Structure 1
Amino acid sequence: MKLILFTGPNCGLCLQAKALVSLLGRDDLIVEEVNVRNNVDLYHRYGARIPVLKRDDSKKELGWIFDSKQLEEFLA
């Protein structure tokens, strides 16, 4: 499953979100990081909400703050 992680420069919360995904230990996950500062539309949509995970298949989004249980439910 492909996930998009909307991030920003020097975003400590984004590092925490990425670490939570890594801790799941799922080999089927592909995480593409997208810096919202590189796109005006993405910046306006996500700039104040990063980190945000988005499923590429269903387009569902999971905004910070989330824990491992919420992440598992999001991926189910």
Structure 2
Amino acid sequence: MIRLRLYTTLGCHLCEQLEALLETLAIEEVELERVEISADDALIERYGVRIPVLADNAGEELDRGFEAERLAAWLAERGWLGEASWSRFQRDAEPYASAPRGAVMRGGRRYLGG
């Protein structure tokens, strides 16, 4: 089991995104110690604009782990990346990355994504 610390705060949608990516990409089950930063001024000062921040047992931190490439690289450095899961994730994300994202005007209103 992989044990990590997650610096977070209530309602952090990026933290939820990071957790979902971890579940998908990690080679084994991940146990998260969630650290709520809002109750501690020092934690707010250190992590307030950086959350979500993951930390391993050695204290090495990862900012912006909700970005799949960053998280995959961080996990791979530690031998925790499920290579097959990462390949599948990249393959499944490919159509979304290349799809046009233009805006279309209809009835005087602008709609995103065609």
Measured against the shorter chain, the TM-score band is 0.7 to 0.9
Q: Which runs of 5+ in 1 are unaligned?
A: none
Q: Which runs of 5+ in 2 are unaligned?
A: 79-114
- Within-5 A mapping of 1:10-49: 10-49=11-50
Q: What one-letter code is carried by the residue in structure 2 that aligns with 1:71?
A: L
Aligned identity (percent) is 35
Measured in 2, the distance between the counterparts of 1:65 and 1:3 equals 12
- Within-5 A mapping of 1:30-69: 30-56=31-57, 58-64=58-64, 66-69=66-69
CA RMSD, Structure 1 to Structure 2 (Å): 1.8
Match of 2:73 in 1: 73
TM-score after normalising by structure 2? 0.57
Match of 1:7 in 2: 8
Indicate conservation of the 8 Å contact 2:21/2:66, yes or no.
no
Query: In the TM superposition, what is the alpha-carbon distance from 1:10 to its structure 2 partner?
Result: 1.0
Query: In the TM superposition, what is the alpha-carbon distance from 1:29 to its structure 2 partner?
Result: 2.5
Aligned length: 75
Query: In the TM superposition, what is the alpha-carbon distance from 1:19 to its structure 2 partner?
Result: 0.8
TM-score after normalising by structure 1? 0.80
The structure with more radius of gyration: 2
Measured in 2, the distance between the counterparts of 1:54 and 1:11 equals 17
Query: In the TM superposition, what is the alpha-carbon distance from 1:48 to its structure 2 partner?
Result: 1.0
